[in-house]
Chains A and B, each alone.
Chain A
C-alpha cells in the first residue's frame, strides 16, 4: 500500500485529523497566551508591559474569533455543529468546547475589552460621524456615563473579570490538551501532562506573538519601541519557556525510561518521519535556540538594538517551534498504527476543504480581524505614547 510501512489496521491508513486540527490548538494557544500577558498588567500590576495590554486583548479576541473555524471546516456535517450546544454529551471532552468557548468569548474577553474601552467608545460615539458613529453608539450598549465614579467601577469590575479570566484561559487551552491527553487508545497523546504542557506552550506562543505584533506594529506606525516593555515580555517568555521545555522533557524522559509497549514504534517514528519536525524544528530550532537567545539577553547587557533583534528572532523561532509542537502532536499521533506494527504518511492536499490553502486562509484571517479591531478600537492611547517616548 502506497505510503504505508509495516502493518496498519486497514481503516487507519488515511489520517482523520488534518492540518486544520493542527491550527485549532495553535490558535487557541495564542488566545490563552495573549490573555495571560494582558493579565500581567491588569492583575499583577507589571507596569512595564502596559503598552501591550490592549493589543494583547485585541489579539486574543481576533484569534478567538478564528479558533472555531478550522474545527467547523473539518466537520463532515458542519450544519450539525449546533447540536454540541443543544444536546451535548456529558461524558465527552469535546462537547464542552462550545461552552468553554462561549464563556471565554462573552464572559471574559469581550466583557473585559468593553469595560476597558468603554470610556473611549463613549467619546468616539460623540466625536465620530455617519456609520462609524452608529457602530460606536451600539457598542456603548446604552451606557454613556463616563464620570469618575463610573470609570472606577469599570476598573474594579474589569479587574474581577481578569481574575476570572486567568483560570478561564487555562481552562480554554488545558481543555484542548485534555482532548488529546485523555485518548487512552493513542499512547502518543495519552498523558496527564498533556493539558499542562498545552497551557504552558500556549503562554509561550501567545506572549511571543504579542511581543512580535507589538514590535512590528510600532515599527509600521513609525513609533519608538518601548524597550523596557519588550525586555519585560522577553523575561517572562524566557522563564515560562523554561517551564514549558522542562515539562516536555519530563514527558519525553518518562516515556523513554518507562519504554512501554508503544515505545519501539514511537521511537522509530521520532527517528524517521518526525525527525525533522520534532527533533530539528520543534526541539532544536523552535525551543533550544530561542531559549538560548532569550537567556543571553538575561545574563549579558547587550545594546538595545541587538536585544530587539534577538527578541524578534527568538519570537519568530518560538512561533515556528510551537506550531511544530502542535503539528507533531496532531499529525504525529496518527502516523503510527495502534497495532504498533506499522506507519502511514500524511499528504497534505492543496485546494481542498482541509488543504493547505484553507489552512493559510485561516491563518491570515485573524490578522484581518485584528486589523479591523485595531481600526475600531485603537489600542494606543496618549499615555502609551508618552511611556514609549520616555
Chain B
C-alpha cells in the first residue's frame, strides 16, 4: 500500500497534467540556445535580476540570475574581493578604493550540454531539451537537492514554496515564441545577448571568430553555453 498509493497519485497527476502548451511555429531541433555575456559592457545596474524575478516569479532570497562585482588588486589576484548584495538586484554600493580594477560579472545557468545536474537527477526530472536548454519538470521533481549539489556554478536552489528544484529556464516560454529572455530584453548596454548557435545568421558566429571568449570553470568540462567575452582570470 505504501508504494501503490503514492504511485497511483503520481499516475493520476500525470494524466491531469496533459501535454505542454504548443508553440506551433517553433521547431526545437532548429535551435541550440546559449548566452553571450560581454563583461566590459555590464554596469551592474541589476535590471536583469529584477526583470528575471518579475518575469519568472523568483522567490526572495533565491536567484535565477545575479550579478557579482569583482575587485581585483595586484595583491589579491587569486582571491579577489567579490560582492553581490541581494544578487545585485538593487545595484552596488560606490567603490571605496581606487587601487586595482572593478568589474561586474552577470551569472546564470550555463545550460551545459553535458550538465552534471541532469546526470545526477534520480528520476530524470531535470533534462536538456533538444534545443539545448536545461529544464526542470517541477511536477516530477522529488526535491532531493542532488542537482543543487552537483551544479558547479551555484545556479540551482530548492523553491521554498514548491519544494522542488528551480533554476533559469532561459525564459523558455519567451524564446520559443521568438522573443528574447527577460534579462537580455532589459539590459541597457547589451551586455547579455541570447544566442542561437544553430542559426547561421546569428551574429554570435562572427563574434566567436573575432573575440576571445571563455566559459566559467572550463576544467569542469560541462559544455557550458554561457560565453563570457573578456573574462578576467580571477572570476570563479
Cβ distance B3 to chain A, nearest Cβ, rounded Å: 5
Chain A interface: which of B17-25, B150-158, B181-189? B150-158
Cβ distance B157 to chain A, nearest Cβ, rounded Å: 4
Cβ distance B201 to chain A, nearest Cβ, rounded Å: 35
Given contacts A92-B122, A341-B236, contact A81 B154 (CB under 8 A): no
Closest to B236 in A: A339
B82 interface residue (CB < 8 Å to A) = yes
Chain A interface: which of B4-12, B35-43, B191-199, B206-214? B4-12
Q: Are B122 and A9 in contact (CB under 8 A)?
A: no
Chain B interface: which of A10-18, A225-233, A243-251, A377-385? A10-18
Inter-chain contacts of B164 with A (CB < 8 A): 76-77
A340 interface residue (CB < 8 Å to B) = yes
A87 interface residue (CB < 8 Å to B) = yes
Q: Are B7 and A86 in contact (CB under 8 A)?
A: yes
Q: Are A91 and B119 in contact (CB under 8 A)?
A: yes
Per the 8 Å Cβ criterion, residues 11-34 of A in contact with B are 11-13, 16-17
Q: Are A75 and B144 in contact (CB under 8 A)?
A: yes
Per the 8 Å Cβ criterion, residues 134-175 of B in contact with A are 140-146, 148-158, 162-164
Given contacts A16-B158, A183-B150, A185-B220, contact A80 B122 (CB under 8 A): no
CA A89 – CA B122 in complex, angstroms?
A: 5
B61, B84, B149 interface centre (most CB from chain A within 10 Å): B149
Inter-chain contacts of A185 with B (CB < 8 A): 116, 149-152, 220
B225 interface residue (CB < 8 Å to A) = no
Cβ distance B177 to chain A, nearest Cβ, rounded Å: 28
Cβ distance B21 to chain A, nearest Cβ, rounded Å: 23
Inter-chain contacts of B121 with A (CB < 8 A): 89, 92
Q: Are B148 and A94 in contact (CB under 8 A)?
A: no
Inter-chain contacts of B149 with A (CB < 8 A): 16-17, 183, 185-186, 334
Inter-chain contacts of A89 with B (CB < 8 A): 121-124
Q: Are B141 and A77 in contact (CB under 8 A)?
A: yes
Inter-chain contacts of A74 with B (CB < 8 A): 144
Inter-chain contacts of A88 with B (CB < 8 A): 122-123
- Per-residue A-contact encoding for B91-124, CB less than 8 Å = 1, 0 else: 0000000000000000100000000101111111
Inter-chain contacts of A309 with B (CB < 8 A): none
B107, B123, B140, B154 interface centre (most CB from chain A within 10 Å): B123
Inter-chain contacts of B120 with A (CB < 8 A): 91-94, 182-183
CA A244 – CA B157 in complex, angstroms?
A: 35
Further contacts, 17 of them, CB under 8 A, given A94-B120, A334-B149: A7-B68, A7-B82, A9-B107, A10-B62, A11-B62, A75-B143, A77-B141, A80-B6, A81-B6, A82-B3, A82-B6, A97-B122, A182-B120, A185-B151, A186-B149, A338-B236, A339-B154
Interface residues of A (CB under 8 A from B): 7-13, 16-17, 71, 74-89, 91-95, 97, 179, 182-186, 264, 334, 337-341
Interface residues of B (CB under 8 A from A): 3, 6-7, 9-10, 61-63, 66, 68, 79-84, 86-87, 107, 116, 118-124, 140-146, 148-158, 162-164, 220, 236
Can you sample 28 A-B contacts with CB below 8 Å? A7-B81, A9-B84, A9-B154, A10-B62, A11-B154, A17-B149, A71-B144, A75-B143, A76-B164, A77-B141, A77-B163, A79-B6, A80-B6, A80-B10, A83-B140, A84-B142, A87-B123, A92-B119, A93-B120, A94-B120, A94-B146, A183-B120, A183-B149, A183-B150, A185-B149, A185-B152, A185-B220, A338-B153
